[in-house]
Amino acid sequence: MKFAWTDTHCRQYPLSALREVLCMSINDYRAWKLGGAAERQRCIDAQWLTVIRAIHAEIKRCLRLAAYERGSSFSRLSDQQGTRETAE
């Protein structure tokens, strides 16, 4: 939306001033103007969700492995509460 607004007002104000006021990237504006998506907007939400889930699974696996090596365990209940149980 700010790119469309910028496009209508770029003849009245310098692009550098609009960029500063709207806190936008000139490169993103130019990509929008050419019809392409900005670099940071190329991934769709489903792709980001897949990446986030993969990272989360890897971190959880590493935490479980570290707990196992220390002689601790993470139960499902303690995972949800964010606490650790010590194995006896």
Model confidence over 6-58: pLDDT tens digits?
888 878 888 888 888 888 887 887 877 887 655 556 667 778 889 999 999 99
pLDDT at 70: 85
pLDDT at 56: 94
- Chain segment 54-85, per-residue pLDDT in tens: 999 999 988 888 888 888 776 654 545 555 55
Query: 18: how many CB neighbours lie within 10 A of its CB?
Result: 19
pLDDT at 52: 93
Query: 4: how many CB neighbours lie within 10 A of its CB?
Result: 9
Helix (H, G, I), strand (E, B) or coil at 16: helix
The whole-chain average pLDDT of the chain stands at 76
pLDDT at 37: 56
Q: Are 61 and 67 in contact (CB under 8 A)?
A: no
